[in-house]
Structure 1
């Protein structure tokens, strides 16, 4: 009989960390708004951001990208960052005229996008150069 050999327990590997940020850049075209929503949804699922919060974030992406496609100039950039507890959406185009919150009349078919973002997001704003419109959503910690 051989002497007992001590075996060290195998080290458990932590699951691989995925980046909690992504960037998209595209030539402005209305069909790309739908693609931006789909890509955002996919990342939100990956990051376990679900339910009504995820739908509100996708709506904000849709509104900001639509504004950039319709009113911006040059390529459109979408950046989403989710470092910890907050998710930040930034949409950039080459138009230096900043996005402005306005109050649409009941009969108007558009003009409510930034109003929706102001209601849904924790905060929102426009960069000093007017080219980037951003908003931030608080993401509550998930219970175990």
Structure 2
């Protein structure tokens, strides 16, 4: 699966317009449908979390006008990649105890590593990706 969508340019702490924010939900539904089509519905909850966090991070922090979501199966893993084309200093940063946000990338990295997968940043920060191990019955 390889999907791209356009969004309005954002600057500063201005919230994204509702039509842009709704695209995260649309991409979640497309990803869930693709998982069902490929017989990977057992991974839906984890994939929805990863897709939500990576897309929201790109939407809120990149300043881009186009975001891409790609799901591929590679060597026993599902790879989820979100690209925004904007090199940046993206990295998981621990949030303070009282912070209401800022834990998404840490959560994605922990989820991936817990199941033997990985989390990373590529292209100078223009792409965030995660691999999730396929369940035994899904590897056949």
Pair in the same fold by TM > 0.5: yes
Indicate the residue corresponding to 1:66 in structure 2.
56
Q: 1:125 to 1:83 in 2, by over 3 A?
A: closer
Indicate the residue corresponding to 1:25 in structure 2.
4
Counterpart selection for 1:135 from 93, 109, 130 = 130
Aligned-residue offset at 1:43 = 0.8
Q: TM-score, normalised by structure 1?
A: 0.78
The answer for unaligned runs of 5 or more in structure 1 is 1-21
Secondary structure of the residue aligned to 1:82 is: strand
Partner Cα distance (1:87, 1:34) in 2 = 20
Contact kept in structure 2, 1:80 and 1:90, CA below 8 Å:
yes
The answer for unaligned runs of 5 or more in structure 2 is 8-19
Partner Cα distance (2:74, 2:86) in 1 = 28
Aligned-residue offset at 1:134 = 0.5
Which runs of structure 1 show a deviation greater than 4 angstroms over 4 or more consecutive aligned residues? none
Aligned-residue offset at 1:65 = 0.4
Aligned pairs for 1:95-106 (under 5 A) are 95-106=86-97
Contact kept in structure 2, 1:26 and 1:76, CA below 8 Å:
yes
Q: Which has the larger radius of gyration?
A: 1
Contact kept in structure 2, 1:27 and 1:76, CA below 8 Å:
yes
Q: 1:141 to 1:84 in 2, by over 3 A?
A: farther
Aligned-residue offset at 1:130 = 1.5
Number of aligned residue pairs: give it: 122
Secondary structure of the residue aligned to 1:25 is: strand
